Amino acid sequence: MRATAGRDQHLQFHTSPPTATALGESDHLVRAMMAVLARQRPASTAEALRMLRRGYPDIPLAMRIAAMCAGAK
């Protein structure tokens, strides 16, 4: 992906540690995504990621991957 001339590209990092509430919400979301994968039974990792991206578009990729990894155990 190329940067557009004259456009600032800044990455935003959250420096504060997650709160207990945020961790609880994360756990709930990961479990919900695991349930979707268990019901749908995607044929491949790519299909699973695509399915989670469609169902949870605002959730970070890292959480979608965590759900896939947790479901694989």
Confidence of residue 47 (pLDDT cuts 50, 70, 90): very high
* Residue 63 · residue 29 · CB < 8 Å: yes
More reliable by pLDDT, 11 or 42: 42
Task: Please tell me the distance from the alpha carbon of residue 28 to that of residue 11, in angstroms, as a whole number.
Answer: 27
Would you state the pLDDT for residue 12?
A: 45
pLDDT above 90 coverage of the chain, percent: 47
Q: Which tokens hold the place of 73?
A: 């155990």
